[in-house]
Amino acid sequence: MLPSETDIANFIAFAPEADEGKAFVFLEGSNSVEEAVTQFYENPDKYSESAAAVSSMSSMSTPMASASDAKEAKTPIYSPPPYAPPPETTRTMQQHRPHTNPVIQAGHVRARDEQEMQNLLQSVQMANGIYNSDIEPEHEFDGYCNCAVHQYKYRKMARLDVQKMWSKAVLYPGEKAYHDCYQASLFTNNPYRYRIVSPYGNFIFSSYYVQKPSPSYYASSVHQTIALNAALNQEAQSSIDAKEPRINIWNIEQLESSMSKMTLATDSSSQADEEEEPPVEKGSAEKGGLEKSSAGKRQSMAGSVANSKTEGSKPSRFATLKKAVGMKSPEEKAVARTQKMGASGRVLRNAILEEEQGRWPTLEWRQIVATYQEKVGMTQKIAHLRAHQPTQYLHLLRAGYFEPIPVAWANLASNPLKFSIEAAAGWRGITPAWRGYEDTAEERLYWVLNHREGGAGVRIKPDIISTMNMARARMASAVEPPPAYYSPNDICHVQHTSEGYSKQVMPAPFIPFDAPEVSTDDTMILLDVSGSMDFVPVRPVYNQYLITGYTKSTQPKNKDVAKAIIRRFTDAMANHDHNFRGYDFTTFANQAKYIGVVNHQNLDAMWQNVRIGGGTRVMTGWQKIKDLHFQKHSESATHHPVYGWQAGPRTPMLRMLLLLDGEATDMDEFELDLLGLSWVHVTIFLIGVDGCPHHHRHANELQRISQVNHHVSFVDAQGNTPERFVTHELLKRHLGYEVTMSEFEELEQPPPYAG
């Protein structure tokens, strides 16, 4: 781009340590002011020789530039109301192309192979007996090696350009990018490289085999990482808070009024400088015989100054010297600082308005966004960010934090809420305090939970040590299930996997929140059919925090438990609402599949269409369920091209039973979506392995979510499951009232045949 004087002033406002020469050459090599500033912070000496040449040329035109800046500063600036559209030209351009920004563009590029890289890492870890997801495989070799570990590392190095593009899009002012591909650079500013011990220890590596992590060294690595994450997060948050504008960017008129007064003060100070008497030679003041002569000389010089002002002759030599060497009075410096603040404030304000207009171009669009912010409980926080922390507001705005999740993301193998966050590797998140989260969905979920109105304090994501301690404490609280629920027909008794029921953690007392179920409510069932549903149940073996292997558990497969619970649940529901036709049944793994309407008569036949295998992407199934629900009730709802179906005041309540056997890869994204909805109640049944900390870790997380979002409730069971007990607890939460034992015994009877 060809830099204008305004562009140069805006650049210097964001990078005060740069001079006009540097501003010119960086702007000349960029497409925007923002890109130029980013390049400057990445490498301030990139154009050192060119900047020096331009700086020497620009020094001759300083008076002209100053006059132009003064004119620019005095030009009235219109301050639009919140969410006002940008100029007409921008609005016209948006009609011809979809909205984009650096975060969206970098997200598209990163999404191309993000899921492939995650799958590759998992396969290499499993092949080499590494079961902790945060441990990178290691294989030291002096020459070229074609093993799976090195194949993965070569792929990482090939993605450096993608990583740099992503880092550039999400960096905050003053931050620097880094990575862990040390083969690609001689020096690195990675803060984790020398401050975190390797999980493999400090022993001598062998080139003949892949290294194995050490439990003690891994424990030390975990402790050090947690501490360093906390320190870097606090430092980053404090840094960006300090860099926020010290002026109200939405009230430029007040700033200009202040600048006008300061300009008047500068003019008077300049005049005072010109009237100041020149210094007298030191020796003349000490010679008594020349005092009179010196006084006369001063009087003569003062007279010539007065004459010069009257006759428009040359300014004083001192004033000329000050201007020549670039000396500024305190008032001039204050005006310059204010001009920079005003220029940067205008750039930031216009960037926000343009981004808002691009993301939400119509009144309908903004109404959906406003409703979402209100439902999630972030209206006040977002308004505060926009007014007082606009730099962070723009950053989160570009990442889509203030709007519903686009429906197209549900069926994508990778989307901006599935990107992994790896602090030691330099793969960044969106917020300033991004370190410690597993992915961008978890980061956004905790950001929302911590900024909702009425929240009970700050919710910090539990670290791996806290998570394990809480999981083990929950596991230790398990007790024998109530004997009144014994049934010889339970799957564990039919298959005779082992004697008796497993101890169970008693669910929290049922507290109704949503209105009780009514006849117009829509009940649907969503089942996880990922590969683990058909595996022989296993639980991990830990040495401190390191998983060293897995051991089998004597209990039925999860798919058999799920089928038994669905049978008991549908029977009870049919007796309750007399809907003998049945309930919509959908399965999901990597993709969703609508099985049909299941009832007491056809469950076994329908089960033949259930195919087990794949990953656990709950958002694919959730999107299918939403489509089915709104296709039934389309007359009471509207459909948005990006955000999908929007319920109306007369849209019936959707009550969904979700059966899971572990944590879905996009569970945080699912929980985020549910936070903004009031027309759905989800009851989750979590199937677990007996004595498995992973099951209890996930149960603790679901418990925290149900406490925050009362439209979500859950029940879990582990090992040999007491099916009647589970079904009773599920019915309470699904129907929204306290189902008594006597009523449950009536509901659980097989429903009468209805042809």
The string of pLDDT tens digits covering residues 578-625 is 999 999 999 999 999 999 999 989 999 999 999 999 999 999 999 999
Question: What phi, psi does 540 have (nearest 5°)?
Answer: -75, 155
pLDDT (average), residues 721-748: 96
Residues forming beta bridges with residue 422, ordered by sequence position: 427
Residue 380 lies in a domain: no
What is the DSSP secondary-structure string of 245-303?
-SS-TT-HHHHHHHHHHHHHHHHHHHHHHHHSPPPPPHHHHH-GGGHHHHHHHHHHHHH
Q: Of the given ranges (15-19, 282-286, 751-755), which has the lowest mean pLDDT? A: 282-286
Residue 186 lies in a domain: no
Is the backbone of residue 541 left (phi > 0), alpha (psi -120 to 50) or beta?
A: beta
Residue 721 lies in a domain: yes
Count the neighbouring beta carbons within 10 Å of the beta carbon of residue 393: 23
- C-alpha to C-alpha distances, 528 to 113, 226, 313, 714, nearest whole angstrom: 25, 33, 89, 15
- C-alpha span between 299 and 303 (Å, rounded): 6
Of 75, 96, 123, the one marking the end of a domain is 75
In the structure, what pLDDT confidence band is assigned to residue 295 with cuts at 50, 70 and 90?
Answer: very low
pLDDT above 90 covers what percent of the chain?
62
Identity (one letter) of the amino acid at 682? Answer: V
In the structure, what pLDDT confidence band is assigned to residue 83 with cuts at 50, 70 and 90?
Answer: very low
pLDDT at 66: 35
Q: Are 669 and 405 in contact (CB under 8 A)?
A: yes
Q: Is the pLDDT of residue 25 over 90?
A: no
Domain around 68:
1-75
pLDDT (average), residues 404-429: 94
- C-alpha span between 721 and 565 (Å, rounded): 10
**CATH (domain of 634):** 3.40.50
- C-alpha span between 400 and 409 (Å, rounded): 12
In the structure, what pLDDT confidence band is assigned to residue 86 with cuts at 50, 70 and 90?
Answer: very low
Residue 364 lies in a domain: no
Taking the alpha carbons of 560, 561, 566, 569 in that order, is the dihedral positive or negative?
Answer: positive
The two three-digit tokens of residue 540, written as one number: 């991990």
Which long-range contacts link 268-277 to residues 24+ away (Cβ below 8 Å)?
269/329, 269/331, 269/332, 270/319, 270/329, 273/316, 273/318, 273/319, 273/322, 273/329, 274/305, 274/309, 274/315, 274/316, 274/319, 275/305, 276/316, 276/318, 277/301, 277/302
Taking the alpha carbons of 742, 744, 747, 750 in that order, is the dihedral positive or negative?
Answer: negative
pLDDT (average), residues 527-545: 95
Residues forming beta bridges with residue 547, ordered by sequence position: 542
pLDDT (average), residues 392-419: 95
Q: What is the pLDDT of residues 194-214, one digit of tens each?
A: 899 999 987 655 656 778 899
- 3-class secondary structure, 637: strand
Question: What phi, psi does 718 have (nearest 5°)?
Answer: -135, 150
> What is the total count of domains within the chain?
2
Q: Is the pLDDT of residue 259 over 80?
A: no
Q: Is the pLDDT of residue 92 over 60?
A: no
Residue 41 lies in a domain: yes
77: nearest Cα among 350, 471, 388: 350
pLDDT (average), residues 97-115: 92
Average pLDDT, the chain: 83
Write down the residue that tokens 């979402």 correspond to: 372
pLDDT at 317: 57
Q: What is the pLDDT of residues 706-716, one digit of tens each?
A: 888 889 999 99
- C-alpha span between 156 and 646 (Å, rounded): 41
How many Cα atoms occupy the beta-carbon half-sphere of 207 within 13 Å?
A: 6
Q: At what angle do helices 317-324 and 252-275 cross, to 10 degrees?
A: 130
pLDDT at 330: 73
Identity (one letter) of the amino acid at 570? Answer: T
pLDDT at 403: 96
What is the DSSP secondary-structure string of 96-123?
TS----HHHHHHHHHHTTHHHHHHHHHH
Is the backbone of residue 129 left (phi > 0), alpha (psi -120 to 50) or beta?
A: left
Q: Is the pLDDT of residue 265 over 80?
A: no
Q: Is the pLDDT of residue 286 over 60?
A: no
Count the neighbouring beta carbons within 10 Å of the beta carbon of residue 281: 10
pLDDT at 9: 67
Q: Is the pLDDT of residue 95 over 50?
A: no
Residue 563 lies in a domain: yes
pTM of the model: 0.78
Of 39, 55, 75, the one marking the end of a domain is 75
pLDDT at 18: 76
Question: What phi, psi does 479 have (nearest 5°)?
Answer: -135, 170
- C-alpha span between 697 and 699 (Å, rounded): 5
Q: To 10 degrees, the CA torsion angle through 737, 738, 739, 742?
A: -150
Residue 566 lies in a domain: yes
In the structure, what pLDDT confidence band is assigned to residue 299 with cuts at 50, 70 and 90?
Answer: very low
β-bridge pairing 583-588 and 592-598: antiparallel
- C-alpha span between 676 and 264 (Å, rounded): 53
Identity (one letter) of the amino acid at 490? Answer: D
pLDDT at 460: 79
Q: What is the pLDDT of residues 26-43, one digit of tens each?
A: 887 777 776 776 677 667
Q: Are 170 and 38 in contact (CB under 8 A)?
A: no
In the structure, what pLDDT confidence band is assigned to residue 3 with cuts at 50, 70 and 90?
Answer: confident
Of 24, 58, 75, the one marking the end of a domain is 75
Residue 488 lies in a domain: yes
H or E element: which one contains 695? helix 693-708
H or E element: which one contains 713? strand 712-718
Spatial neighbors of 21 by CB under 8 A, at least 6 apart, are 50, 51, 52, 53, 54, 55, 56, 58
